[in-house]
Structures are given as structure tokens and as C-alpha cells.
Amino acid sequence: MRAINIGVLRSRLVRKFCLVLMVGSTFFNSILHLYAQGLSGTENGEWRYLGGDAGNTRYSPLDQINASNFSQLEQAWRWRSDNFGPNLDYFSRSTPVYVDGMLYTVATPRRQVIAMDPGTGENLWTFREPDSIRHQRSPRQAYGKGVAYAEIDGRGVVYITTPGFFLWALDAKTGIPLENWGKAVPLNGFADTGAVDLIPELVKDWGPWQDYLVAGGRYDPDYGIPRELGMVTASAPPIVVNGVVVVLVGHQPSYGQTRIENVPGDIMGFDAATGEFLWKFHSIPRPGEVGHETWENDAWRWSGDISTWAPASADPELGLVYMVTNASTVQTYAGHRPGYNLFGGSVLALDVKTGERRWHYQIHRSDQWNYDLPTPPMLMDLVVDDQPIPALIQNTKQGLIFAFNRETGEPIWPIEDRPVFQTEVPGNYTAPSQPFPTWPEPVDLIANEGLTERFIMDYTPELKEQATMILNGYRVGGLYVPPLPVGHGNDFINNVGCIGAGNVIPHQPVGDPSTGMMFASHARNCFAPGLMRPTNGIDRDNPNYPEPGAGGATPNSTPTTGKTVAAWLPGGGGGGLPTIDGLRLFKPMDNQLTAYQMNSGDKEWSLPVGPTPDAIKNHPLLKGVEVPDSGGVGWSIQMVTGDLLLQTRALSEGMVQFVPDAPLTLNARDKYTGEVLGSVPLPAPGQYGMMTYLHEGAQYIVVQIGSSRTDDPAGLVAYRLP
């Protein structure tokens, strides 16, 4: 028997004014009241975490703004980030937090911290870390997602991890670094207190660092880790749980690397009151630790990354912090790091007091597809088969949805291993199977099936026949399709793979703890991977080593200069899936919004959030054909407040040029049907996220905005009722 669909049952009865007729309503409502309140963070109209509550649902119970008055909203204020220096609009991903009558966010590649008046958008104080070579070398400067907040002995404190990999603790009312906190950093301009240099604790027990010191090397706090060893930074803010600041780690993107060595992204905990180092969890297991055997050929000694790009979630009552991880170095080739490579591509649950692993689940093994987990774990309390379950829900780029008991790590519904395509690149490694949830079904069934007949483009019978003939020249697979070597010798052109969600980093799923519903935006894509060719040697001192861009080596804005590189690199040509005069061979779905009732795992509704672009509608081959909506361009961004699902389209990531006249609106949708109930205009396209809070009796909705148009800089816009 599947789970009782309590959330939808209750919502429908409420809408029909028949709650009194529900059999056992007292029992149902008592369970729902107990288990549907969500985790802490949005009480009293606040928004204390990047994702609202500690469970990253992006939900608020505030309902002053509702379906009856949404269209009356007026712009309260607008805040521009370019006042603080140049910004990369579409990389701005900092959702503000609202605590104790103040708003906090970060802006620009300097990751400057700003405190604002929530009623006017006026700047109250700012903090900017002094310049350093480490900041200039950071590969993730513009990706700061925000700040963390905690109260220490009744005092509000704002915590920030900077691109140079320093942790700061600032007085929430003044922005001044905390006194008697952390350790003095011996760099010009740094305060004597209020900061922690994170690199020494990260590397002190790491073998390559110890070898470096024995060979006469020394630590330069201005420069950081020598390039021949690696590079480290931070993308997501820390999270504070039960008096512990948990610091997340970022690296140079794995898909842009040509070297195989780097520093591991070990996760660290610090005392929130003093800045004292407490613990470290090895993201690449050492001898004797769980998962060490998954790093064959001693790759654990020098392989790095396993970053925590996405923000973390936490359950303070359980004392657990939850994180998701990236792959190890050189994501397109794993021959230098054979094995499943724990804890890459995993959900991790750590004891926040000790850093000990309570449980983990590896979502995918030996990543070579850039399938890093892009969204923080979503924590909601569900009722499944009459049983209350503290749940963790993990969405993926592939379009799969994994659901676990967040206390024990047990899957809520079965997960099965399925065989996948194996690599044909000499020396490479692919895992023989990958995990697939049996329930809920993927956001797009193409994630389960691959490019089967029902997904082949069929605007007309002639076009479907032509698309089928083209695909007959390929070997069609599913999610885990590895690249082929140049000159592979098969009787097909290339492999074809498909994913159901895409890069959901800038359009994360949201939840509704009051009903158990989840809303996920996604896009379908099918592709033929680029072929791979061997490098001309594995030693950078070898004169035959290819220059960047040759032999498949990929230039990067912040290259590392280690000596060894992967034996095979992408760039041999042969990639890409053909089109028919610009029409894709598969049925396009570029922007779909799907609602799930997670108490049962059922899909409630699914719809495109925009029209099909005119370039397809008016295509000469489709004259007279009624083309179904495919979602338009730009991602769907959403949030839940009260009974409304707020949603807008993010056109800022290079898309405005394709739809210059697209309506820029913030929409209020019915949670239970997806129907648009009201809209208000936005001054610029939305991006990444939004949030809401109650300030001096008025509810505000704040949307992150920005575009590639110079007259619409990145920033924030706030709305309230007249």
C-alpha cells in the first residue's frame, strides 16, 4: 500500500469546507499539526536561513499576502548591488536572511556583507574583507550564496565564509568583527580578532602538505595553498547548528580541470562562540575509515575536491547537519581514481558536535558527468503509511528524487541498482551500476527510460520518421552514458544520453511542510558526449604536453599548475546531437514545473511555465502545426508562503536577448493546481531565489533580480500591500 495522501486530502476538504466530515479528522489533524510545522527558522515572520528554515524548504507560513490581495502588491523598495562594485549579474545567488528586524546579504565578487533596513532597503552597515592574493586566486568569487546567523549569549552574530577561505564572525547590529573570537591573521588590514584562516586546519593532516613542509616549504597566509598542491575556496555559506559553525568547501570546477591532484574538501566545525576548531570530517576517507576501499590504486593520497557547493541543512533536535557533495578531480575521466569514490556524489549526515558520520547515501558513483548534487537536502516531516517520518528529500540534476528517513538514512521507498553503460576509453573506470529510486517517479520519465519512442520529436509523421532514422545511427542510453574514445570503431556514431532536470542550482526545488508538497522546476535534455582523446603524456614537464585548449585540455580562468594530468581529456570532436534544421530530435521541455505530494510520492500536477519560442512555432517545417508549449526560456524560480506558490521566470542567465519583450512578472499560483491566481510586474528578471518576512506588521516579499541588460543591474526588489 502506498502512503496516505494526507496533505492533498486535507487541502481538498478545506477547499470544500468539509473538514468536519472527514473520518478520524481529529487524529489526522493532530498528526499534521505535530509533523507539518517544519523546522525552525521562519517563526514570528523571520527568515533565518538561506532557505528560510533549517530544512531549506523556502517556505513561510505567512499569509497576510494571499490570493485575494496579491495583485494589489506595490514595490516597497529596490536595492542595487552595483553600488558596491562590479557584479556578474547572473552569478548573484545570495538570498537574504531576516532576523531581529534586519536584512543581511552579500554582493559582488568581493562577497561584501550588507545589513539593510527591511522596510526601506537602506544600507545600515557593510563589511568587506581586506584584499589578499588568495581572494584574487579564488575560482568562485562571484558565487557567494549568503550568510549564516546565530545568537551567542543573547547577541546576534553574522558568519561569512569568503572566497579566500576565511571565516568571519561579525556583530549583527554593527558589522564589527567579534572581539576575542578566532585567531589573529597576519595580513595587512585584517583585524586582530573576528576571523579564522581555514587553510591551516584543512591541510595540517594531509599527506601532500606534510611532504611539502618536510621538503622545506612554508605557509604563506597571503597566497594560501601552493598551486602545485591545489586550490580551495567556498561557495555556500556556513551553517550554525547547536553552537557549532559548520564550514563548507569549494574548489575549481572539476569539469574545467586538467590535473588530477587537489586538496580534499574536508568539512570542518568551529565553536560559534569562540572560533575554536572542533572537528574535521575527511571527505576522502583515509585508511581505516568507512569508504577508504572505494579509492583504488591509492588515489586517496592525492585526489582532491569532493566539494560541498550547495548549502547545508540541519535538524537541531537530532543534532545532525546534512550536506551534498561534488565529484573528485577531472570529472570527465576516472581512470586515475578507479572505484566508487566515496564520499563523492553523496548525501552526508554528520553529528554536529563531533563531526562523526551518522549515515550517508551515495546518489551516484564515480561521477564523470558533472552530476554533482546541486541542491541542499530538503527536510520535511511526512506521514507515510500512517507513520510519521522525519524525511530528507534530495533532488538531482538527472531528474531523480531520493527520499530518506533523515534520522536513520533508511530509504522511504525502495532504491534499486540498475546496470549502466560501461566506458570504452582505455584505462577509464565506470561503476557497473547506479542507484535509481523506484518511487517517487522522476520529474521527467525520460530519466528512467532514455530517448525511447514516446520522447522522439513527432510534430509531424514525416519529422518523427526522419528523427528516428537519425537516431538509428546512435546507441541510445539513459542517464549514465560515458564518452567514447576518438576512433572508437563501433558501428554507431556515438552514445546518446538524456537527463530530466538539468542544472537546478539556480532554480532549486521548494517544499511546503504544512501539506507535504514539493515543487520542482526542470528541463529535458538529450546529448551525445564529446569524444575523448589521449593527452601527449602525463607530465607537465614533458615538452609533448598539450597547451591549454589542445588535445582536449580545457582552459580555466584560474588554472592550477600541478604536474600530472588525466590520461584522457575531452575535446576530440564528434560530440553533439544533430538537429533537423534546428529542430531537436526529442520532444522539447525547457521549463516544466511539477508538484509532488511527498506523503505519498504522487505527482499532483505538472505544467510548462512558458510558451514555445517563436523560432520553433514559426519554423518553416511546422507551418500549420499546433506546437505544444515547451516552457519557454529561462528557469522557473519559486517559493511558498501561506497557501500561495510564488513563481517567476529567471531570464537573467543570458536569456533576455532571446526574449526582449518577455513579460517580467511575479506570479501567485494555486499550490494544488498550478493555476496562476494573480501577477505583479518585476522591474528586471528574477534569479536564483526569493524570500519573505514580517516587519512592523507588514509582510514583504523580496525577489532577487538581475539581467544582462546594463539598465537592470542585479539586486533585490521588495513588495508589500498598500
Write the DSSP symbol of residue 377: P
Average pLDDT over residues 43-57: 97
Q: Which pLDDT value is given to residue 33?
A: 43
Indicate the average pLDDT of the chain: 87
Q: How far apart are CA 524 and CA 630, in angstroms?
A: 10
**pLDDT, tens digit, 9 for 90 and up, residues 617-639:** 999 999 999 999 998 887 899 99
Contacts of 618 (CB under 8 A, 6+ apart): none
Residue with more model confidence, 652 or 184: 184
Percentage of the chain surpassing pLDDT 90?
Answer: 70
Instruction: Say which CATH topology domain 36-720 has.
Output: Methanol Dehydrogenase; Chain A (2.140.10)
Q: Domain residue spans in the chain?
A: 36-720
16, pLDDT greater than 50: no
**pLDDT, tens digit, 9 for 90 and up, residues 52-71:** 999 999 999 999 999 999 99
Q: Which pLDDT value is given to residue 717?
A: 95
CB 235 within 8 A of CB 221: no
Average pLDDT over residues 230-234: 89
Average pLDDT over residues 269-276: 98
Q: Biggest alpha carbon distance in the chain?
A: 81
Q: Which pLDDT value is given to residue 152?
A: 95
Contacts of 465 (CB under 8 A, 6+ apart): none
pLDDT range class, residue 452, cuts 50, 70, 90? very high
**pLDDT, tens digit, 9 for 90 and up, residues 242-262:** 999 999 998 877 666 767 889
316, pLDDT greater than 90: yes
**pLDDT, tens digit, 9 for 90 and up, residues 668-688:** 999 999 999 999 999 888 888
522, pLDDT greater than 70: yes
215, pLDDT greater than 90: yes
463, pLDDT greater than 90: yes
Q: Which pLDDT value is given to residue 329?
A: 84
Q: Are strands 277-281 and 267-271 parallel, antiparallel or unpaired?
A: antiparallel
pLDDT range class, residue 654, cuts 50, 70, 90? very low
Q: How far apart are CA 58 and CA 198, in angstroms?
A: 29
Q: Which pLDDT value is given to residue 662?
A: 59
pLDDT range class, residue 645, cuts 50, 70, 90? very high
Beta bridge partners of 105: 114
Residue with more model confidence, 363 or 549: 363
Lowest mean pLDDT: which of 505-519, 532-546, 615-629?
532-546
Q: Are strands 715-720 and 698-705 parallel, antiparallel or unpaired?
A: antiparallel
Average pLDDT over residues 385-405: 97
**pLDDT, tens digit, 9 for 90 and up, residues 104-150:** 999 888 889 999 999 999 999 999 999 998 988 887 777 778 999 99
13, pLDDT greater than 70: no
Average pLDDT over residues 148-153: 96
644, pLDDT greater than 80: yes
Average pLDDT over residues 366-383: 94
CB atoms under 10 Å from CB of 573, counted, come to: 11
Distances, alpha carbon 513 to alpha carbons 38, 49, 180, 378, 641, in Å: 5, 16, 39, 10, 11
Phi, psi for residue 461 in degrees, rounded to 5 = -60, -35
Residue with more model confidence, 546 or 166: 166
Average pLDDT over residues 540-549: 40
Contacts of 33 (CB under 8 A, 6+ apart): none
Among residues 401, 337, 350, 721, the alpha carbon closest in space to that of 564 is found at 337
Percentage of the chain surpassing pLDDT 70?
Answer: 86
Distance linking the first and last C-alpha atoms of the chain: 49
**pLDDT, tens digit, 9 for 90 and up, residues 560-596:** 556 677 888 877 676 789 999 999 999 999 999 999 9
Q: Which pLDDT value is given to residue 596?
A: 98
CB 39 within 8 A of CB 54: yes
Phi, psi for residue 568 in degrees, rounded to 5 = -130, 140
